[in-house]
Each structure stands twice: as C-alpha cells, then as structure tokens.
Amino acid sequence: MMNKWRQDEFLLHAGIFDQLQNHKDQNPFSEAGKRNRAIRSLIMSSGISQAFHVILQEKNI
C-alpha cells in the first residue's frame, strides 16, 4: 500500500497543531514565538510545503 500527500496535508493529518505552544510573551523573538511561526510556515498555503510531497509505503510480510 502507498499513500502520497503534499507535505502540508501530511503535517496537518499528523497533528502538527499539537506542537504549537501557548505563550503570553510579547517578545516576537521568544523561543515559543519562533517555534510557532516555524510551524505555521510549514502549513501556510503560500509556504514551501506545497512543493514537497510525503510518500508512505507499507509492506505486509
């Protein structure tokens, strides 16, 4: 069996939103802020994830 997704679709299906961190830090360069922006950039419709695909292959032995 083989499944193929765009990278952004795969990340959403895999639960990438669970990796976002709640924070009240006003500093846009805080670790949590930078991490959240990086995660969002992976799934934005204008992001680079539109150009990459993920292929999952499975073999029953």
pLDDT digits (tens, 9 = 90+) for 34-60: 999 888 888 887 777 788 999 989 888
Distance between start and end Cα atoms, the chain: 12
Identify the residue with better confidence: 46 or 15. Answer: 15
Place of tokens 């639960």: 15
Read off φ and ψ for residue 6, nearest 5 degrees.
-70, 150
Quick one: pLDDT at residue 11? 92
Supply the pTM of this predicted model. Answer: 0.70
DSSP 9-34: HHHHHHTGGGG--------TTSHHHH
Place of tokens 């360069």: 29
Identify the bridge partners of residue 55 per DSSP, sorted by sequence position: 4
Quick one: pLDDT at residue 44? 86
Quick one: pLDDT at residue 54? 94
Indicate the average pLDDT of the chain: 87
